[in-house]
Chain A
Amino acid sequence: MSTEKKTTKTRTVRIYFMGKAYDVPQGLTIMKALEYIGYRFIRGIGCRGGFCGACAVAYRLAGEYKLRTGLACQTTVEDGMYITLLPYSPMEKPRYNLEEMRGEAGYILKIFPEIARCVSCNSCTKACPQELEVMDAIQAILRNDIKRAADLIFDCISCGLCSLRCPAEIRHVYVFQLVRRLAGKYLLPKAKHLEERIKEIESGKFDAEIEKLMKASIDELKKLYMERDIEKA
C-alpha cells in the first residue's frame, strides 16, 4: 500500500475458541482473528471472500442461548463470542443423468424423497449466511415451481449450514444444485444467436479475417485497434 499506517490504538474484543479465551483486535473477521492468535488454516477455508462456503462457523454470544451461524471470512468478531468451525457438512452426492430428466418436481423427489418431510420450521432460512429464503425454496419445489425455487436459492454457496440445522435431514446443497440445473436446462429459454454463430464459425466465415490479423504487424494492429468503433456500454 502506498501510505503509512497511522498509530491509532486498536480496541480489542474477547473471543473463546477451542477452550481458550483470546483478546483480538476489533473489526477482524473470525478467520483473520484466528490467524491473529496463531492458527494456520488447512481446512475450513477456501476463497476468503464469501463465495466458496468452506468456512461455515457456529457461535454463541455471552449471555445468550441462541446458536448463530455464519461464514468465518465474512463475520466480524464480537466481544464474548464462543466459536466453532464446521468445515464440512457430511453428505453423499447422488449421481444422475440430466439428459433423462425434465424440469419437474417428480425427478427431484425421486432422488431426494426427504424433501417431502419438510415441516416448514424455517430453521434452514435462519441458518443461511446468504439470507436466502431456503424454506420457501423447498416449498416451491413441492409445489412444482422449479423456476421460483431456482431463483430463490440461486445465490447459494453450498456451505451446508441449512442441512446441519434441518430436522427433516434434507441435503439442501445437492437438492438446490439439481434444481438450478433443471431450471437452466429445461425452464429458461434457449439462448438466441449461439447456434447461428457456431455454424458461422464452423463454416469458416471468420477464418480469413482472423488469419489477416494474425499476420499483421504491430503497427497495423495498433491502428486497427484504435480505430475500431465502440458500442455504448
Chain B
Amino acid sequence: MSEGYPLELRKAIRVVEETREERLKKKYRRLTLEERDELVKKWHPDYRPDTKRELKVGPSRGAIVYNEVADLLEAWPIADPSKIDLSTIDYDVDILIIGGGGAAASAALWSLYSGIEPDNILIATKLRFGDANTVKAQGGIQAADRPVDSPVRHYLDTIGGGHFANKPELVRALVMDAPFIIKWLEDLGMMFDKTGEGEMIEYSGGGASRRRLHCARDYTGLEIMRVIRDEVLNKGINILEFSPAIELLTDPETGAVSGAVLWNLETSEYIIVRSKVTILATGGFGRLHLAGFPTTNHYGATADGIVLAYRVGANLRDLDSAQYHPTGVAYPEAILGELITEKCRSLGAQLVNVNGEQFIYELEPRDVVASAIIRECAEGRGVLTPTGVCGVWLDLPMIDMIRGPGTIKKNLPAMYRQFKRHGIDITEEPVLTYPTLHYQNGGIEINVYAQVLTPQGTPIPGLLAAGEVTGGVHGKNRLMGNSLLDILVFGRRAGMTAARIVKETSSKPKISFKHLEKYTAELEKINVPKTRKAPIILPDYRGNPDYRGKNPYLKILEITY
C-alpha cells in the first residue's frame, strides 16, 4: 500500500488549504472569445509547430495531422496479400461490426431491430467485448430534455465548443436524437441518477449552457456498456473476441468494402470475413501518445479504424486537433494520465496553482482549461512531484463544503476509490493534475446515415462508421457528454442504414486486396521504410512502463505465419 502524499507535496497542499475559505466565495471570470483564442493558440499542443505534418499519401493528401497519425497512415499494411488465402471464407455474414465499445453494440442492436437475423451479424473486437473507452466514461451523457433546455441550445453549445468547425447536419442528428436515446437506455433498464419523483439529476458540463449531463454515479459509460452488451448477448448476436481487424477487403469490380481480415490474437491465425456491409466502430487514438502526452484511453485505442478506412478511400477530417483532458492524474505516478472526471469541476472543485490562486474559470471548454494548466506549469506556477511531473491542484474537498458532506463519496465513488487505493483521501486532500490525451476529435468523415465518404463527398459502398473513429460531429473540440451520445446516435443510424443496404443487396460481393495496390504504390513513391507498418493493434510498453521519452508504438505485434 502507498502511504499518500510525500512530505513536499503535503507542504504544498497547505497553501491550497489556506486560501480555500477565500476562494469559496470567488468565481473566476469567464474569458471572452478573443482571450480564449489567444490562450489556446499560445499553449495548446494543437498549435505547437512540432506536433504535426502534412499527409503525403492517400485520399486526404495535404491535410495536416499529428505526426503519430501520419506515421500510421504512411505505413505498410501488416497483412501481406501474398501470404493470405482468401479462397476460404471463415464467416459469411450480412453485417460485420468491427469494434467492441458502445458504438458497436448500438449498431448491432439497431441492425437487429431493423430486421437482420442475429446469425447474420458478427461483432469482431480486439480484446473482450466492452474493453473500450466506453466503459471508462464517468461524467455523463448529454440530452436536452429539461423544459428550460432545448435541442436548439444543445446545437449552439456543441458547435460553439467545436469552434464552429462541426458538420451541421451531424450536429442536428446528434441533438435531435438525444432524448430518444436516453429513453431507449431507460427502457433497457439503465439505472440513471434520478430523484425519488423521477426527475433526472443533471449536471452542467464545460461549455454547456444548461445542466444536461445525465449520469449513473461516475460510472455512466460502464453502466451504458453493461446494459447494451447484456442485450446484445441476450439476442444471440455472434461475437469474436481477441480478433482485431487488420485490413478491409474490397470487391475488385465495384470497389465496395466486402469484409475484413481479422487476426486471432491468441493463435496468430487469420480469420476471413465476408460481409455485405461493414461498420467501423473502433474508437480513438489515445494510445499513440500524441505530442508525448499520457492518455486516459483504454489499451486498444490505437487508431486502427482510420488506418483501415483510409486505405479504401475515406476522407479524414479534423485530425489536426486532439482533445487533451485538462485534469489527468499527475500524482501518483502509478496512475499517471488516468482521468479525473470533469464532473469534479461541475460539482464545484476549483483549479489552483502553487500559490493557491485560481487561474481559470473551471468550466471553460476543455482546450481552454488545458491550455491554462499548461501555461501555469510552463511559467513556473505549477507543483513538481518527486519524479519531476508538473501539475496544478484540483481542490476536491471544496465539493463537500459546497454541496454537503458525503457528496464526493456518493457522486464520485470511482474517483474516491481510485485515490484511496494510493493512500489519498479526496474528501480531505486536493489532487495534482496535468492535461492528458483524451479524445480523437476528428476522424473518418460520414454523412447522417453513417456512410463513410470520400473527399468528393460520395459514400464508399459497403462501409459505415460510427463513434470516436469518425470526425465532423464535434468539430475541433468535443464537449463533455457529447461522445457517449454520439456513439449511440450514430451507432443506431449505422445499424439502421446497414439493415437497409442488406435488404437492397441480393448478391454476395467478391473479396480482394485490390485497394492496396494503389495505396502501396503511393507508399513506394515516398519511400516509406519497410519496417513501418500499421495498424499497430496494441502499444508496446515493454521495459518502459511509463512510455515517457520513447515512442511506445514503434513496434507492431509480430505476426507469425
Contact = CB atoms under 8 A, between A and B. Distances in A.
Interface string B416-458: 0110011000000000001000000000000000000000000
B165 to A, nearest CB: 9
- Measured as residues with beta carbon below 8 angstroms from the partner, the interface class of chain B is 35 or more
Contacts of A183: 189, 191
Contacts of B38: none
Contacts of A66: none
B269 interface: no
A18 interface: no
Contacts of B363: 233
Nearest to A211: B172
A52 B421 contact: no
Nearest to B417: A130
A143 interface: no
Nearest to B222: A51
Contacts of B135: 46-47, 51-52
Contacts of A224: 156
A125 B159 CA distance: 47
Contact of A48 (B150, B298, B377): B298
A87 B334 CA distance: 21
Interface string A35-66: 11011111101111111101000000000000
Given A27-B334, A192-B197, A193-B146, A45 B191 contact: no
B180 A48 contact: no
A67 interface: no
B136 A47 contact: yes
Interface stretch (A89-97, A112-120, A163-171): A89-97
B148 interface: yes
Interface string B190-232: 1110101111100110000111000011010111001100100
A49 B417 contact: no
Interface stretch (B88-96, B308-316, B387-395): B387-395
B414 A47 contact: no
Given A33-B545, A42-B265, A51-B135, A95 B191 contact: no
Task: Name the prevailing secondary structure of the A interface residues.
Answer: loop
A226 B387 CA distance: 42
Interface string B225-251: 011001001111000001000000000
Contacts of A49: 136, 296, 298, 335, 338-339, 418
Contact of A189 (B179, B197, B234, B541): B197
A158 to B, nearest CB: 7
Contacts of B168: 213-214
B160 A191 contact: no
A2 B233 CA distance: 45
A207 to B, nearest CB: 9
A191 B334 contact: no
Contact of A74 (B175, B236, B421): B421
A194 B33 contact: no
B369 interface: no
Contacts of A4: 388
B51 interface: no
B186 interface: yes
B509 interface: no
B548 interface: yes
A122 interface: no
Interface string B105-147: 0000000000000000000000110111101100000001111
A49 B152 CA distance: 35
A206 B176 contact: yes
B304 to A, nearest CB: 15
Interface in B143-181: 144-148, 150-153, 155-157, 159-160, 164, 168-169, 172, 175-176, 179-180
B298 to A, nearest CB: 4
B156 A213 contact: yes
Contact of A43 (B127, B136, B386, B540): B127
A182 B502 CA distance: 34
B226 A188 contact: no
Contact of B152 (A191, A198, A213): A213
A148 B128 CA distance: 29
A27 B333 contact: yes
A2 B335 CA distance: 18
A129 B277 CA distance: 41
A32 to B, nearest CB: 4
B192 A188 contact: yes
Given A32-B546, A191-B182, A228-B156, A1 B196 contact: no
Contacts of A38: 542-543
A51 B242 CA distance: 19
7 contacts: A40-B541, A48-B299, A76-B1, A98-B189, A192-B200, A213-B159, A225-B160
Interface of A: 1-6, 8, 27-29, 32-33, 35-36, 38-43, 45-52, 54, 74-76, 78, 93, 95-98, 130-131, 150, 154-155, 157-158, 177, 180-186, 188-198, 201, 206, 209-210, 213-214, 218, 221-222, 224-226, 228-231, 233
Given A33-B545, A93-B230, 20 more contacts: A2-B377, A28-B334, A35-B545, A36-B544, A41-B538, A42-B265, A48-B338, A76-B421, A184-B188, A184-B191, A185-B189, A188-B194, A191-B194, A192-B198, A192-B199, A193-B145, A197-B144, A206-B150, A231-B209, A233-B363
Lowest 10 A-B CB distances belong to which pairs? A181-B189, A189-B198, A46-B131, A32-B545, A185-B189, A225-B160, A184-B189, A184-B191, A214-B168, A35-B541
